Amino acid sequence: MMIQMIEKADRFRHGVVGSLLCLFLCMASWAQAASSLKPDPIDEESYGESFTAVAEFEDGSYVLLQYVFTNAGFGDGKAACRALIVPPGGKGKNSAIKVDRDEWSYNAGSNSLNVGKCVLKSSGNQTRFVAKTGEVTASLKLNAGIRSLRTPGHRIKSDGKFYESEILVPWATATATLSTGGKVWKINGHGYLDHTRSNALLKNLANRWIRFRGFRGTSPVLFEVRYPPRGAYKAWIWSDGKARPIKGGNIKTKGKSSSLSIALQTDKGAAQIKARKVIYRYKPAKQYGLLGRLAKPWVGDPEIITSQAELTLGDGSVVKGVLEEARFAD
């Protein structure tokens, strides 16, 4: 009996690690576009998978909508639908619902993924994500279909485990209807959608992870740099009009949070990303109570800081967007 209890506790521990990993990184399973929204679970307690949409709007609002799938704890195939809304100049509202396996489904005919009352659907040149979490309702429309794109370093291997990611919508104009605290508003802006899947331990993947999603300006730009626990950083950059992302080099960072700046090389020469204003700080290990405390010895105590930011290119042009920095403390 004691051995069985220890085995169950160990499986639960690893499941917590897997599910929190997705929550930490989704800040982003290689299917064709026709079924690109279908989860691909594996029979491991540490399995975690996510679909994450990020959008910023002309009035200064910021929105993150997310699905997470996991085998953590007792019973496999659980899911969560999370919505974060940060109004212009206001305090962010973060809300989520959790469901069992029989409360989520994928429909191949409509390429739609339902989690409770939340719906993620893509057809033709339009992708919609509707999140209803009780405290928050958000309906986001991206004016683009699924593209299923891999970036350099899209699959990371660690101690026989893996972390993989793909971009489903790199950049698109967007509209949203948001509701929280009795307030309803409709806005226009730009958005992004990605997909991640993993069974790896966070501490083996990165000490720091920085992503810039530049939507407004001369040309949309995506940038990412990961600092692994051992070895050199890994980076890539992708500008609209280019066929695919390319590896990035000569990355130098200084400061943190609202003062964070990154020097990098682009096809237009030397460039710099600067954070302008912190939008939201997120500490999953703290917000997830007992689950976070159980996972802390294995994943550390990450904090994700999201800021408004600008990329100044070598030719002087500017691209505005969102900078996300994930820091992982031991």
Per-residue pLDDT tens over the stretch 206-264: 889 999 999 998 889 999 999 998 889 999 999 887 777 888 888 999 988 889 999 99
Residue 311 has pLDDT above 90, yes or no: yes
In whole angstroms, give the CA distance from residue 83 to residue 118: 10
Residue 182 CA to chain centroid, in angstroms? 27
Regarding predicted confidence, which is higher, 181 or 213? Answer: 213
Q: Which of 24-38, 147-161, 291-305 has the highest mean pLDDT?
A: 147-161
**What is the reported pLDDT for 275?**
96
In whole angstroms, give the CA distance from residue 284 to residue 294: 12
Provide the number of structural domains found in the chain. Answer: 1
Q: What is the DSSP letter of 101?
A: G
For residue 219, with 0-12 CB atoms within 10 Å meaning exposed, 13-18 middle and 19 or more buried, which class applies?
middle
**What is the reported pLDDT for 299?**
53
Neighbours of 200 (CB within 10 A): 21
Q: Which CATH number goes with the domain that contains 115?
A: 2.40.370.10
In whole angstroms, give the CA distance from residue 154 to residue 89: 35
Q: What is the total residue count of the chain?
A: 330
- Please give the share of the chain, as a percent, with pLDDT higher than 90: 54
In whole angstroms, give the CA distance from residue 137 to residue 59: 18
Q: What is the DSSP letter of 275?
A: E
Q: What is the DSSP letter of 292?
A: H
Q: pLDDT class for 18, splitting at 50, 70, 90?
A: very low
- Residue 181: domain span: 2-329
Contact 293, 309 (CB under 8 A): no
Regarding predicted confidence, which is higher, 293 or 47? Answer: 47
User: At residue 151, what are phi and psi to the nearest 5 degrees?
Assistant: -105, 165
**What is the reported pLDDT for 111?**
94
Q: Residue range 302-312: average pLDDT?
A: 92
Q: Which 3 state secondary structure label does DSSP give 287?
A: helix
**What is the reported pLDDT for 242?**
79
pTM: 0.87
What tokens appear for 278 in the block? 């912190």
Q: Residue range 154-171: average pLDDT?
A: 92
End-to-end CA gap in the chain: 34
